[in-house]
């Protein structure tokens, strides 16, 4: 099986190249089929790995070739598939395949499917490279490829200024985290002269003392990268606006893949965080604050997908909380169940929006009378799993496991209290949406039914949102910890509180969920008269982070840019004025000294040449990225040809 690892990222990468180079020769449906088949091949290889049990005994490894050879440093294009990576590639390829299938109908009428499926396949390949990479250099390549594709997919309908702006905002904000991660990689290389993950983690654990400055700084830099990609405080502002992309993109990026890349990064490099206990506790603190932030902001939103965006921020916060408490297997457990129910919610919401004339306001959607029963029931299952409805949903088991494990961590009761408050808010905001949009809508003969390519992903995800949690039962239950035991080779078992406390925490968590559902029903009835929640500007604007950054960062930056531009303009104007004056004096002197005016004509010709060159060169600076890319490519080809020659 190790010889087939390259097919997991290779199949979608090859499909993306075919679409880019030969896509103009293919019809729309052929583009969709090609992209979907590539995602299916990646998932099939992962499925074969599960069936063969190849990665359950020892990690699979495959080295394709040496990427760069610099002295004694020879980074490779190499992949490693252990149990951690196997879980991640299963989620990414499986959810990715379902979203490709869903997109066949959802994007059928779009005129730019070639670009859509190119970036969708490329995104999938980048995420799989990130997960399978056996060294930090290759991981960073996948990390940046994912960021590039998210920019293109979020701003897919770029002809609308607001959507294009959302893509740029996501790209710029995540670059902050990417720079932090790059600095962390540089620091690790400067200390160990290698970027192999296994080598780095083993040597860092052996050579660095717990709490040392290098360990702390490295963990902080890696945490910065994770915060940016996973949209945690304070770099969470890009995710709500990222709803500008198509609904399948929202499901892929914001549920199962890109936003969980930071969680995977911390889980993969957890020995570095255990060498920096203060940083590890900061991971838990950031996650806890983000839980409350995202859940409270979701309460005041009227946009269907924006509620789910803030929900994603909050749920990833639970994963960070688990990571900070040392419950790495449980963070991964919630990552998996969250991928199921959040993808389901996004796709169900996308179906409602798609068949409602692109209406996003939940109050307007609630007045419609044409919601499909299938969509209503699947959304209800996703909402119940997100809220952690006791016993019958996957979200209950993963979230309850994190809350119970939190109690035994440093400052555990305080962290638990915030996280439990997040459970209450989660039930309120998601069932507020359900009651507003679906309560009272009556299906009839004219109700539009979703085509099969949109229906099957909903049904599969609904089933997984119900049964996906049965791999890890709570403390004190029958056959607990199956998931944690299976991952014991990757992570140590989580420390749990005594059974009496564990049972009490489980009861309180279940009760909070039920109370939240009841509160949601009460709020909906009152909201019909007054829209109380949406009038809370602080919550509706996401605690005012955008306005804060606008005031503290963006406006000063533009003011400085305008000042420098004005200064440069005055300086250049003065220089040109002096040069022109000198040329005129020189021309006047030469005119008096040369009888036939030969020198005068030469200067006039030289000035005309300058004007011609300026006109031609200025045309290259026209803001068209495609022309810039062409010029860069031509220059690269020229330099490469020169070096080879």
Concatenated DSSP letters of 51-89:
HHTHHHHS-EEEEEEE---BTTB--EEEEEE-HHHHHHH
**How many whole angstroms separate alpha carbon 292 and alpha carbon 428?**
13
User: In the 3-class helix/strand/coil scheme, how is 545-605 assigned residue by residue?
Assistant: HHHHHHHHHHHHHHHHHHHHHHHHHHHHHHHHHHHHHHHHHHHHHHHHHCCCCHHHHHHHH
Exposed/middle/buried for 549, CB within 10 Å: 0-12, 13-18, 19+? middle
Q: Print burial letters for 357-373: b (CB count within 10 Å at least 16), e (below 16).
A: eebbebeebbeeeebbe
Tell me the C-alpha distance between 467 and 387, whole Å: 15
Select from 63, 123, 114 the least CA-distant residue to 92: 123
Predicted pLDDT at 586: 67
Task: Give the 3-state secondary structure of residue 480.
Answer: strand
Q: According to the model, what pLDDT value does residue 612 have? A: 76
The 10s digit of each residue's pLDDT in 29-64 is 899 999 999 999 999 999 999 888 755 668 899 998
In sequence order, the β-bridge partners of residue 65 are: 77
Q: Is the pLDDT of residue 530 over 50?
A: no
CA distance 615 to 619: 6
Mean pLDDT of 472-491: 83
pLDDT, average across residues 506-515: 96
- Cα–Cα nearest to 502, from 390, 388, 400, 386: 400
The answer to whether residues 419 and 399 touch, using CB atoms and an 8 Å cutoff, is no
Band of residue 597 on the pLDDT scale cut at 50, 70, 90: low
Which residues neighbour 370 within 8 Å (Cβ) at sequence distance 6 or greater?
355, 356, 441, 443, 444, 446, 447, 448
Q: How far apart are CA 580 and CA 603, in angstroms?
A: 12
pLDDT 10s digits, 430-449: 999 999 999 855 544 455 56
Which range has the worst mean pLDDT, 48-62, 266-280, 491-505?
48-62
Phi-psi region at 559: left, alpha or beta (left = phi > 0; alpha = psi -120 to 50): alpha
Calculate mean pLDDT across residues 454-476: 92
Quick one: average pLDDT of 465-477? 90
Cα torsion at 190, 196, 200, 203 (round to 10°)?
A: -110
Task: Give φ, ψ of 432 to 5 degrees.
Answer: -60, -45
User: pLDDT band for position 529 (50/70/90)?
Assistant: very low
Give me the mean pLDDT over the 362-382 stretch.
Answer: 88
Q: What radius of gyration, in Å, describes the C-alpha atoms of the chain?
A: 28
What's the mean pLDDT in 630-641?
79
Q: Is the pLDDT of residue 113 over 80?
A: yes
Q: What is the pLDDT of residue 439?
A: 80
**Where residue 344 falls among pLDDT bands split at 50, 70, 90?**
very high
Residue 634 pLDDT greater than 70, yes or no: yes
pLDDT for the residue 600 = 63
């Amino acid at each position: 099986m190790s010889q087939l690892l390259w097919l997991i990222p290779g199949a979608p990468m090859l499909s993306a190249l075919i679409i880019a180079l030969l896509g103009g020769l293919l019809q729309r449906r052929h583009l969709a089929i090609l992209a979907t088949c590539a995602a299916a091949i990646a998932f099939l290889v992962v499925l074969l790995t599960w069936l063969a049990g190849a990665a359950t005994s020892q990690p699979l490894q495959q080295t394709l070739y040496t990427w760069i050879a610099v002295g004694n440093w020879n980074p490779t294009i190499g992949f490693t598939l252990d149990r951690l990576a196997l879980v991640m590639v299963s989620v990414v390829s499986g959810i990715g395949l379902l979203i490709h299938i869903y997109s066949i109908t959802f994007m059928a009428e779009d005129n730019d499917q070639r670009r859509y499926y190119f970036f969708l396949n490329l995104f999938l390949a980048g995420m799989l490279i990130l997960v399978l990479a056996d060294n930090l250099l290759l991981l960073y390549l996948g990390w940046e490829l994912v960021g590039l594709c998210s920019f293109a997919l979020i701003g897919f309908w770029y002809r609308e200024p607001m959507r294009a702006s959302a893509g740029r905002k996501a790209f710029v904000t995540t670059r902050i985290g990417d720079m932090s991660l790059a600095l962390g990689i540089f620091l690790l290389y400067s200390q160990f002269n290698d970027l192999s993950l296994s080598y780095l983690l083993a040597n860092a654990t052996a050579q660095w003392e717990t709490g040392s400055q290098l360990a702390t700084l490295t963990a902080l830099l890696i945490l910065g990268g994770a915060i940016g990609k996973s949209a945690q405080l304070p770099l969470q502002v890009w995710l709500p606006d990222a709803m500008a992309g198509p609904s399948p993109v929202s499901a892929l990026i914001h549920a199962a893949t890109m936003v969980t890349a930071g969680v995977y990064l911390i889980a993969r490099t957890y020995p570095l965080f255990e060498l920096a206990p203060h940083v590890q506790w900061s991971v838990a603190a950031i996650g806890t604050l983000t839980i409350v932030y995202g859940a409270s902001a979701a309460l005041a939103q009227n946009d269907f997908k924006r509620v789910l965006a803030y929900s994603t921020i909050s749920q990833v916060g639970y994963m960070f909380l688990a990571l900070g408490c040392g419950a790495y297997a449980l963070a991964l457990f919630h990552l998996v169940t969250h991928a199921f129910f959040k993808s389901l919610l996004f796709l169900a919401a996308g179906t409602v929006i798609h068949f409602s004339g692109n209406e996003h306001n939940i109050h307007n959607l609630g007045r419609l009378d044409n919601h499909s029963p299938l969509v209503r029931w699947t959304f209800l299952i996703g909402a119940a799993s997100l809220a952690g409805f006791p016993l019958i949903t996957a979200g209950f088991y993963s979230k309850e496991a994190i809350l119970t494990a939190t109690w035994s961590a440093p400052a555990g009761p305080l962290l638990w209290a915030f996280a439990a408050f997040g459970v209450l808010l989660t039930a309120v905001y998601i069932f507020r949406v359900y009651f507003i949009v679906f309560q009272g809508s009556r299906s009839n003969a004219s109700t539009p039914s979703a085509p099969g390519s949109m229906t099957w992903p909903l049904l599969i995800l609904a089933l997984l949102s119900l049964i996906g949690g049965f791999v890890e039962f709570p403390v004190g239950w029958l056959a607990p910890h199956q998931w944690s035991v299976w991952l014991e080779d990757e992570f140590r078992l989580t420390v749990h509180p005594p059974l009496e406390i564990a049972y009490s925490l489980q009861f309180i968590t279940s009760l909070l969920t039920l109370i939240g559902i009841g509160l949601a029903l009460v709020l909906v009835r009152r909201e019909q008269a007054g829209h109380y929640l949406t009038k809370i500007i602080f919550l509706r604007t996401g605690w005012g982070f955008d306005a804060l950054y606008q005031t503290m960062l963006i406006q000063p930056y533009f003011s400085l840019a305008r000042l420098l531009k004005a200064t440069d303009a005055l300086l250049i104007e003065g220089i040109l004025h002096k040069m022109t004056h000198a040329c005129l004096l020189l021309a006047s002197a030469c005119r008096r000294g040369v009888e036939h005016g030969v020198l005068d004509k030469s200067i006039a010709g030289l000035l005309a040449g300058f004007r011609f060159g300026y006109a031609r060169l200025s045309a290259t600076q026209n803001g068209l990225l495609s022309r810039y890319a062409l010029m860069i490519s031509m220059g690269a080809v020229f330099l490469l040809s020169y070096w080879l020659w």
